[in-house]
Amino acid sequence: MSRYPFKTYSSLSLLTGFSLSLFSSELYAQLEEVVVTAERREASLQETDISMTVLGQQTLKEIGVDNYQQVGDMAPNVMMHESPGKVGGAISIRGFKNAETVSTFEPKVALYLDGVLIAKNSGSAFDVVDLERIEILRGPQGTLYGRNTVGGAVNLITAKPNTEQLDGSVFVTLGEYNQQDVRGVVNVPLTDTMAVKINLASLNRDGYFDNNFRNTEEADRDRLVGRLQWSWDISENANLLYAYDHTEVDEKPWPVTLMDYNPATHPQLAPYVSDGDNRSRNLDFATYQQAEVKGHSLTLNWDLLANASLVSITALREMSLQGGTDSDGTPEFVFATYSEDNTETFTQELRLVGNTASGKLEYVAGAFYMDEDIYDVKNVNVLPTAGYLESGLNADANNKVWALFGEATLALTEQVDLTFGLRYTEEDRTMSRQDFLWIPVLGAETITDLPEANGNFDDVSGVLSLSYQWTDDTMTYLKASKGYVSGGFNPRSPSPETFTEGYKEEIVYTYEFGWKTTLADNRLQLNGAVFYNDYQDLQVNLLDEATARNNIGNAGKAEIQGLEIEVVAKPIDTLDIGAGYGYLDTQYKTYIDPVSGADLSRNSWAHAPKNSFNAWMRWQMVQWSEWGDLSLRMDYSYRSDFALLTQNGTDVDGYDSWNARVTWANIPLAGGNLRASLWGKNLTNELWYTSGYNLVSVLGFKAQATNPPQTFGLDMEYMF
């Protein structure tokens, strides 16, 4: 049960009521307009018929974001965290969660870096220096974006080179656990039409957790990050942007804690069950993760006509990853894993964006192509009663995707807009797999080549939306959309039959009513959405308890209904406050295990807390005419009880978290400006679980990984 069953409701009500009472007086502070590109053109957030949360550059600095996953607690019905041992970012929006462990599984939520698709979860937890904005979109996407998704999209937009002046910044972070981060950004105009921007970062920290058995530290940080952008204004109507990013990782991944065990099969695990001190470990297996992630992209923006432009995005991304994990979380040799992932993804997207001369019709038409090669290795070492055993698999996969998409918005009247979008997607998938089994004590080895799995999937999806602008400050919309994710094959299927059979397409029909309103002379914004999702053949990543392998199957029918509400207010010039609340009601209508035939309709829905709440405030305490300004930022987030996996026995208690930051900004120094911040994260040292698995029935244990502990530190940034 939740420890705070009424906190989210009462907090939001109190904040809203408090804000409205403040605005009854004559005050003149106003909120700044938020401009987004979620609909592939610049538009005000308040005029966009998408439920979304936007964090601008100033906010990202104020909350100390150095990795996009840290913004998950800032948005209702959203969860984000890094996957142990995968350098991957697990994102969940409205209960749609990207798979953490299967490299070939298509994400339910798309991640874009400056319009370039980050195709897979593995290797997606790279650090991006100099972010300008993060947009979190909820609901099916596909008629405006190259890749089709059912849960939403996250857009990472970086600051671009400019030809106006030489400028840059140096950013240093010193914190607990010997955290030493250095980031640098420089923008260099080369000519009146050409400029480059270079971003470099070295990120280092000791481990959060002690491994007493090996006298080492786990969950450390050791990364080198670089990004180069070159911009050329070919003419007054055309711009070419080349970007290259490179990340190297050499770390020990997040360790797991033993939460439960089977005394009948593994009595030796009794001393190692968690006693609440989950910041200390005893692991016999040397955990590690090494990764290299790099990408090239070439983006052309060309204004063909006065009211039409062409966008071309060509990209090649590569990722290589290898790592080992002590999966049982004990000094006993029970279960350890080794994995290796290598992916190469080429994408090409073309978009034509424009409007008619009258301005009554706006349109986006596009085409998308992707060619992806994946090599996946998974080795498992276990110690059953018969003796030491090593099993594993190697898989090669190729995915090809073709898509045509488009969306048009017609102004029926000055107040009513009708939006219609369609998408056609076709995907060809092939996969080969080789299994091996080795028992050293017997000198036995078996290698099995499975039949090649292949399939073709296609679908037509779309969206229909009607919006009404009641006043200049209030808009409502009613939307119906169809989301689609293709079927495929799981390289870690528990049997040859489930491998070649694969899993079917997932389809969701979403119905949504939303509103966006600005009140009190643009000092209060109240946005929200109510939605209902009806699923067919929901794709579920379920841990097969008979083989300890991830089995992807289809859950038949399922439903999610819920809402999001977000409030932003500026009652006085020196104070900004905000809050968000999300509610999710998830239910499997039919869910039959494809292997065992068991009825799983009562199983938990992964990473879908019923209640989510966040609140924040920024108070500019002092402003000096010559020495800058002093401000306080506080953030609070709450998530109610949820499950880590679509598997019983992985439920975790709800949690809340406090962060705070005091910033002295705009300090004149040597022709530039200095910014210094003292910060604290997870101030109450709250402990919760971010990932895990339940293998009590087959391997005799259950293990889970935790969140970062309480930390304090200092940021200093010099801008020139």
Looking at residue 324, its pLDDT comes to: 87
pLDDT at 222: 96
pLDDT in the model for residue 22: 44
pLDDT score, position 596:
66
pLDDT per residue as tens digits for the range 543-575: 666 666 777 888 888 999 999 999 999 999 999
User: What pLDDT is recorded for position 12?
Assistant: 38
Q: What angle do CA 340, 158, 202 make, to 5 degrees?
A: 55
Greater model confidence, 129 or 16: 129
pLDDT given at position 385: 44
Residue-level pLDDT at 4? 32
Query: Is residue 312 scored above 70 in pLDDT?
Result: yes
**What is the domain class of 7-719 according to CATH?**
mainly beta
What was the pLDDT predicted at 26? 43
pLDDT band for 696, please (50, 70, 90 cuts).
Answer: confident
> What tokens does 289 get?
């993760």
Q: For residues 116 and 27, what is the distance between their CA atoms, to the nearest angstrom?
A: 43
pLDDT band at 362 (very low <50, low <70, confident <90, very high): very high
pLDDT tier for residue 19 given thresholds of 50, 70 and 90:
very low
Q: Examine the pLDDT at 8 and tell me if it is beyond 70.
A: no
Give the separation between CA 333 and CA 273, rounded to whole angstroms: 15
In angstroms, the CA 74 to CA 278 distance is 26
Q: What mean pLDDT do residues 447-465 have?
A: 95
Tell me the CA distances in angstroms from 459 to 61, 148, 205, 346, 412, one per residue in order: 42, 11, 46, 22, 30
pLDDT of residue 594: 63
The pLDDT assigned to 95 comes to 92
Average pLDDT, the chain: 88
- φ/ψ bin of 426: left (φ > 0), alpha (ψ from -120 to 50), beta (otherwise): beta
| Residue given tokens 């409502």 in the structure block | 476
Question: How confident is the model over 168-189, as a mean pLDDT?
Answer: 97
pLDDT above 90 as % of the chain: 59
Q: In angstroms, rounded to a whole number, what is the distance separating the alpha carbons of residues 421 and 580?
A: 29
- pLDDT-derived band at 86 (thresholds 50, 70, 90) equals low
Residue 502 structure tokens: 């694969």
Q: What's residue 483's pLDDT? A: 96
Q: Cite the DSSP H helix spans in 251-362.
A: none
pLDDT tens digits, one per residue of 530-546: 999 999 998 887 766 66
Confidence of residue 99 (pLDDT cuts 50, 70, 90): low
Asked if residue 184 lies in contact with residue 719, where contact means CB atoms within 8 angstroms, the answer is no
In the prediction, which pLDDT does 27 show? 43
Token pair, residue 705, equals 């990984």
Confidence of residue 720 (pLDDT cuts 50, 70, 90): very high
584-588's contacts with Cβ under 8 Å and 24+ in sequence apart are 584/77, 584/94, 584/95, 584/560, 584/608, 584/609, 584/610, 584/612, 585/559, 585/560, 585/561, 585/610, 586/95, 586/558, 586/559, 586/560, 587/558, 587/559, 587/560, 588/538, 588/555, 588/556, 588/557, 588/558
Q: Would the pLDDT of 348 be above 80? A: yes
pLDDT tens digits, residue range 146-157? 999 999 999 999
Residue with the bigger pLDDT between 528 and 15: it is 528
Is a pLDDT exceeding 80 seen at residue 33?
A: no
For 16-33, what is the mean pLDDT? 52
In this prediction, residue 16 carries a pLDDT of 40
CA trace torsion 97, 103, 107, 112 (10° rounding) = 120
Residue 1's pLDDT is 35
Distance of CA 690 to the CA centre of its chain: 14
pLDDT of residue 230: 99
pTM of the model: 0.92
Least confident of 176-185, 326-335, 419-428, 528-537: 326-335
Q: Check pLDDT > 90 for residue 87.
A: no
Please report, for the chain, the start and end positions of each structural domain, with discontinuous segments joined by +.
7-719
DSSP, res 696: T
* Least confidently predicted of 22-26, 257-261, 459-463: 22-26
Residue range 75-89: average pLDDT? Answer: 80
Give the whole-number percent of the chain exceeding pLDDT 70. Answer: 91
pLDDT of residue 545: 63
Q: Is the pLDDT of residue 113 over 60?
A: yes
- Cα 88 from Cα 607, distance rounded (Å): 16
pLDDT digits over 247-297, tens only?
999 999 888 888 888 898 888 888 888 877 667 778 888 788 999 999 999
Per-residue confidence at 17, pLDDT binned at 50, 70, 90? very low
